[in-house]
Chains A and B, each alone.
Chain A
Amino acid sequence: MREQQAVTIVMIEDDGGHALLIEKNIRRAGVNNRIEGFTSGGAALDYLLTSAEKPDSDAYLILLDLNLPDVSGIDILRKVKEHPVLRSTPVVVLTTTDDKSEIQRCYDLGCNVYITKPVNYENFAQAIKQLGMFFMVMRVPEVAA
């Protein structure tokens, strides 16, 4: 997201506290992009799908927690990667589980990065900051709607 591309970070995280901590640390890494937070998978999907229809939509980067109460995060990942327009959106899975089969599944479904949220906050903050720095250098594809 060099030169501050018009990339909106869609954060799908049901826990308000987590969402805030992630936002704080991303900002501390120097990322100034707009962050849209959603606490339910359903709402996030609606938002993404309607945006994908629009001709002039932003490029997106999705931060996805798998542990959503209403829909399975895996389902959201699958739906995004099966959508003709949204499939090119980078998806960063950021979740508490470090189960190997789960990680494999996410990658099989097409997630771009899988990060395990550390319980230890320092590591957590560090990881988010590094993610932020990663965001600073990565390029996100233009949305071809």
Chain B
Amino acid sequence: MMRRTDTFEIPNRREGIDEPGLVQGSHDFHTITEKICSINEWAPPRAWYVAFGISALVLSTLGICIFYLFWVGIGVWGLNNPVAWGFAIVNFVFWVGIGHAGTLISAVLFLFRQGWRTAINRWAEAMTIFAVMCAGLFPAIHVGRPWLAYWLFPMPNQMDMWPQFKSPLLWDVFAVNTYFTVSLLFWYVGLIPDLATLRDRARGLAKVLYGAFALGWRGATRHWVSYERAYLVLAALATPLVLSVHTIVSYDFAVSILPGWHTTIFPPYFVAGAIFSGFGMVLTLLIPFRTLFHLEDFVTERHIDNMCKVVLATGSMVGYAYAMEFFIAWYSGSTFETFAFINRAFGPYWWAYFIMVGCNVITPQFFWFKRFRRNMKFIWILSIFVNIGMWFERFVITITLSRDFLPSSWDYYSPTWVDVLTFVASLGLFMTLFLLFVRFLPIFALAELKTVMPQADPHRPLDEVLVSGPEKGGDDV
């Protein structure tokens, strides 16, 4: 993996610092197109089929779980009187959080002109869309009478009855729908030039379909100008969403009056956690796919390294938030608050709390060291821990319900098989969609990727261009 860095030391003008280029290997514009399009145009490796088969199978259980749930009632879950929210809400927050990395990478890093985003933004945006789809599923199925769930939307009706705008659940409806819409548009707009590339190379039905979605893109300058403008506007729209969506999700808890929920630290803490978990998930997906499709030239160690740094930063913020929650609970002098936090760590769910702390606070600290930021297998394992830790964080928060004000009402919540299987099945939904994405859409933003190549630099000396021709590269796949 380290093989090409010493032969190609091209100073990156945009970064202005001496570090490896964002595209490794001896690629020119054409080889990149060939390379990325080949993933869509040629039969995928056997591993893809295996993964897709498993994912689709797991997905099919989602239908079973939901059918069973709708047929029999919410009681098939393990919820009880103090704990009226369980896995469904945990999963909802978990998936919404996952989505945040995509938006951050595509929008915020775009606005900050972070060149390294180009290799991962398409992935991350796809992940966002699919994660939000998984997230949106849970609030819809967790209501007791799902056939009336549409009452949460402000629709004119004969009862002249509006939703109750003071409820954070309603804010959720708006926040998540806005988020999904903007993310989908952003992703799609970014896809248009690449769909056109695929259209131009495809035959038959594929040509028609790619063509339809490419919206007649011809690569004219006028198109590019409009495109760049649209992309910028969407990025600007999406940027506040990075902060707002998870803030509003955190209001589901923070607006309530329960000890352990009613805290002002939740919005920033949730946003940091969301980005943390999102980057964890990007790493979990990217590292194996990178190897599977031989994409080391595009997703370089530098990319992974940068992501590890984000994980470190956000993970540390989350750890700080955990500590601060405890401090404030003690400092408040409220017996209920103090107990809620002591109970989190040493009560019946102590195991969940320590899984959370172990995974979210300790894991990212490895990334202080370059050695760990370069070890792909290690990073991958740690990214799994991040995913687990962040799921448990939501579990720990939600399950605070089990012990609130009056000890007479305290009870222990245990999930049923339906709870667990529905969560696993949502992973199946996510992976199925992701594998289909990998199979049928360009996994890198082709046009953008080319812009960070040395060849795209108008100020680059011609000799360097000649030196870096494909004949000297030979990094064929």
Partners in one complex: no
State the B residues within 8 Å of A (CB): none
Interface residues of A (CB under 8 A from B): none
